[in-house]
Amino acid sequence: MTTAAILAGCADGPGAAAGERVGPLTLEVGQNTNFPDVAQEVARQWGELGVEFEIETDTWGPYVPRIYSDNEFENVAHSPWGSSPDRIDPDFFLSTYRSDSVQNIPGYENEEYDELFREQRAAYDPEERTEIISEMQEILHEDLPEITYLWVQATLPVNSRLWDITPTEFVGARTTGSMTVLTAEPLEDERQLVVGGEQELDAPNPLAPDSNDVQYLFKLAYDTPMRVGLDGEVTEWAVEDVEEVDEETLDLTLREGMTFHDGEPVTAEDLAFTFNFLSEYNFPSFDAYTADIDGAETETDLTVRVELDGPNVAFVNSALTFINLLPEHIWADVPDQADEPVNWNADVDDLVGSGPLEITEWTGTELQYEAFDDHFEPVAYDEFIFVNRASMEAIRSDFEAENIHMTTSSPPISVTEDLAENDYIEMSNAPGVLQQKFSFDLSTPPFDDKAFRQALLLAVDTDRLSDIFWDGYTDIGDGTLLHPRSELTSDHLPQAEQDLEEARTVLEDAGYTLEDGVLYYPE
């Protein structure tokens, strides 16, 4: 995708040669769980409008940075965001449409939206903020730089014979909630918790995870200032007090007596360094949380003052639950060891955090941890192991053999339901923020035409997709990137529902013609 972007709400037309056939177009998708099958079905549904979509697949490892960080794709990219506790506030998702966001996959630009985004961050009154976000949502529903048509409910299979595991049941978390792992209680004599997933383990860098699963795995070893509990409430974690000096200034006080895994004490200098380091260098996974940090400095041995460049009502609940606390004595030298810190390939000995679990081994297929007994919230077991398996069938087999006790992310619902037929495996489900979403390259026809994008949303059969791929365990969206169950979402927008007749009318009104089942650009 080119770096050029358009003001999506003001496109004059498709910009292609008049009367030409539309397509064939490409739909790119990463090879992860049922994503390619979902993309194939959506392409078939879109084909009802007279446009052929060719599916292009890529392995998940390289696909993620190419789409989410580099924004490189030709026409359409399947681009779901996964569940993560820091995303209980919609600020993260809303930020991805800012004109200057590195995670603005479609290249969307809208000055009115950008201004409203700044206003919602400064709106400390909940009712005022809800009204502003509703306006933003209506803009997104009209422009549709992406379409989000359904949200997959998170399902979690666990071995209930060997473990007492409490899922995090609130919108935004579940399997990626670190507290589910950290609060697990062994039953009988089990001392080793093993979690499986289809997740390649590439170069270890806690500031450059290549997926949401790897991000979650790092959160087990790295403390965050705040953390989201099992009930969805944000609580103090590495910091014991947060004082809002004013709307742009926070004083954070660390817990006393914390140490890193190598025995070095955790100090205010480490916390201040973390904020300054993350804001100085480019880390796409963190930029949405650190872009507003103006600087940080120590006030006392345990207190750090953080200055923001503007009000940000979501900073405590989002940024402080996401940012990894870094040891300055390791990370200060990283810029000299790589062209960019985001490209640093750490040795296992450098993966030093202060969290409840300490990383001891990292290979392409396995990640091993030991309990860090000096932590203020120690785990109740000795070891944690993540194993990468080549297929979901391999995960299912290991689960039934009790070699795996839980998964990092929700397996296909059919797998979870089959596993739950065993009397020692329990299944739970709750709303999640894993959504089915497609991003458009707004700089190329026909995706520079708002009418074409609106027709694609109308062509999606959300009920069929929900039934055949998730057995109904979904929440139907409205096309925008706000969860329908969120307290901040607008209740004025219709759910996504297939209406092919209306989709064809939208295209016809925009000047497109349909001849012998083939769509043509306006004359």
Which of 107-111, 171-175, 494-498 reaches the highest mean pLDDT?
107-111
CATH assignment at residue 293: 3.90.76.10
Bridge pairing between strands 303-308 and 249-254: antiparallel
Q: How confident is the model at residue 15 (pLDDT cuts 50, 70, 90)?
A: low
- pLDDT on residue 434: 76
Whether 367 maps to a domain, the answer reads yes
Rounded distance between C-alpha atoms, residue 503 and residue 452, angstroms: 9
- pLDDT on residue 277: 97
User: How many structural domains does the chain have?
Assistant: 3
Domain of 276 in residue numbering reads as: 205-353
Q: State which of 426, 457, 476 marks the end of a domain.
A: 426
Whether 120 maps to a domain, the answer reads no
| Per-residue model confidence as pLDDT tens digits over 59-71 | 988 999 899 989 9
The answer to whether residues 363 and 250 belong to one domain is no
The answer to whether residues 335 and 441 belong to one domain is no
CATH assignment at residue 393: 3.40.190.10
Rounded distance between C-alpha atoms, residue 323 and residue 31, angstroms: 28
Name the nearest CA neighbour of 402 among 383, 425, 385: 425
| Per-residue model confidence as pLDDT tens digits over 252-302 | 999 999 999 999 999 999 999 999 999 999 888 888 889 889 999 999 999
Q: State which of 307, 329, 353 marks the end of a domain.
A: 353
Whether 118 maps to a domain, the answer reads no
Q: How confident is the model at residue 85 (pLDDT cuts 50, 70, 90)?
A: low
Mean predicted confidence (pLDDT) in 227-234? 83
Q: How confident is the model at residue 220 (pLDDT cuts 50, 70, 90)?
A: very high
Instruction: Give yes or no for residue 410 having a pLDDT over 90.
Output: no
The answer to whether residues 99 and 78 belong to one domain is yes
Rounded distance between C-alpha atoms, residue 11 and residue 420, angstroms: 50
Mean predicted confidence (pLDDT) in 371-395? 94
Instruction: Give yes or no for residue 469 having a pLDDT over 70.
Output: yes
Instruction: Give yes or no for residue 140 having a pLDDT over 90.
Output: yes
Instruction: Give yes or no for residue 9 having a pLDDT over 70.
Output: no
The answer to whether residues 367 and 388 belong to one domain is yes
Whether 125 maps to a domain, the answer reads no
- pLDDT on residue 296: 98
The answer to whether residues 347 and 221 belong to one domain is yes
Whether 117 maps to a domain, the answer reads no
| Whether the model pTM is above 0.85 | no
- pLDDT on residue 24: 96
Helix/strand/coil percent split, the chain, to 5: 30, 25, 45
The answer to whether residues 170 and 97 belong to one domain is no
Whether 116 maps to a domain, the answer reads no
Whether 384 maps to a domain, the answer reads yes
Q: How confident is the model at residue 451 (pLDDT cuts 50, 70, 90)?
A: very high
The answer to whether residues 219 and 335 belong to one domain is yes
Whether 134 maps to a domain, the answer reads no
What one-character DSSP code corresponds to residue 315?
Answer: I
Which of 366-380, 464-478, 486-500 reaches the highest mean pLDDT?
366-380
Rounded distance between C-alpha atoms, residue 392 and residue 45, angstroms: 27
Q: Are 341 and 333 in contact (CB under 8 A)?
A: no
What one-character DSSP code corresponds to residue 23?
Answer: -
CATH assignment at residue 460: 3.40.190
Q: State which of 337, 353, 369 marks the end of a domain.
A: 353
Q: Please, what is the average pLDDT of the chain?
A: 90
Task: Check the CA dihedral 57-59-477-7 and report its sign.
Answer: negative
**Per DSSP, what are the bridge partners of residue 241?**
253
Instruction: Give yes or no for residue 508 having a pLDDT over 80.
Output: yes
The answer to whether residues 243 and 322 belong to one domain is yes
Instruction: Give yes or no for residue 6 having a pLDDT over 60.
Output: no
- pLDDT on residue 175: 54
The answer to whether residues 418 and 288 belong to one domain is no
Share of the chain above pLDDT 70, in %: 94
The answer to whether residues 223 and 186 belong to one domain is no
**Helices and strands: H and E segment counts in the chain:** 15, 25
Q: Are 460 and 47 in contact (CB under 8 A)?
A: no
The answer to whether residues 211 and 348 belong to one domain is yes
The DSSP string of 82-145 is ---GGGGSTHHHHHTTSTT-TT-TT-EE-HHHHHHHHHHHT--SHHHHHHHHHHHHHHHHHH-S
Mean predicted confidence (pLDDT) in 423-435? 82
The answer to whether residues 230 and 326 belong to one domain is yes
Q: How confident is the model at residue 333 (pLDDT cuts 50, 70, 90)?
A: very high
